[in-house]
Structure 1
């Protein structure tokens, strides 16, 4: 099982090596990188490349590790007992399977995405150590052990909002998706818009990287935001000349709301443009 990329996802050689190393080692692949660099999409493309089912566990600040295994719905059981329901005699009726359970009981090998693990409590990764290591867990309510029929390929993403515990990191293969260079971005744009004007792409990339290089920027525009911006430029038929004029006379390019997402950055870019004009 080797990942070689897909026609709709530009994967660098380093990323392909990391994916295949994690598969060989049978360890989760921990992927970090700026938001919008394709971490979540990697799992989707892996599923497409291998013809496998994708099971996604989106992590929130309130998510607990046991929710990925199962939850016991005691409230429903109490209600059914008050209604004298026959279901109450089988406790299994009140076990709600989590995403790990779903992945473990799959007959075929699946892709399990644990998305944005750094959003959860700091103890969350440690609470999953044994389950991800042994590929099994115990259900106390029904006195059964759930073991993985086929070891899933596990992709874990992080935006680096919190440091992850060393014990957890030791059990993962790590890869950092560096921000793409101009040539890689061109390839990504070509995948999304094969008929786009290359002159437009060149001018848009120049403006895009100028914004990213602005000192003190709170949120740098991401790859996905560049793709959105180009889509808007084409939809509104804004050509190269309009971008060049805007670049020379204004702090922000047309439809900049696709790239710049907060007022502090808008004010910063306007201030930098004002200072540059005064130096001329």
Structure 2
């Protein structure tokens, strides 16, 4: 069954056909993926459900939309239509953020464009006591932010405040001007017209993807917000596309409000996120 499913997903152009097939079957059976090794057969009802999900995955519906869950660092987040599915690459930005907060008591953190809440909720879990605000503009996505924030608070993690707002709004979070220790963001950065996989083009929300002709339109507005919110010496971390490893740091330097601008690769060696400190 799994071999046939993997062949079908391979023919459909899915990047990880065997893994996706195994994860879908494990989801249908309600068991960990490792338990599949001990199974001899699958009953007819489960096989039918698996076939339905397999057809949707072959049609390039994201795996996480079919299972309803997305792993991210130490969390498993609820995801589905209307929210950007968190990617493993973003975990490194969170790792950098936590390094900046090490030893701090009650640091103030703002996550701009929070989506599923992956960054904000990971920081709240891994740095208990942090005062984290997750900002999301998309009305569909923010329902997922709120859902995941409620789930994590119920599980005992530090509560995260979820705020509806535009990261480029000059009036956003005025009450925190000059008081924030860290601003992090995985903003829309895909250049208009760029070719992206069907899972992204057909299912990720447009507000989470497209960033103008060079992909940096939203970042330009984000920098103004970050510069206003951050205390002197406060940290800024922004994820970006592979091809923006030069242009985004240059944009941050040109703003004039930041120092120690640096760019960082992901585990595959591709440019992935830019960091800086508030000048002054």
More relative contact order in 1 or in 2 (CA 8 Å, sep 6+)? Answer: 1
Instruction: Select the structure that is richer in strand.
Output: 2
Q: Structure 1 or 2: larger helix share? A: 1
Q: TM-score, normalised by structure 2?
A: 0.27
Q: Which has the larger radius of gyration?
A: 1
Calculate the TM-score normalised by the size of structure 1: 0.27
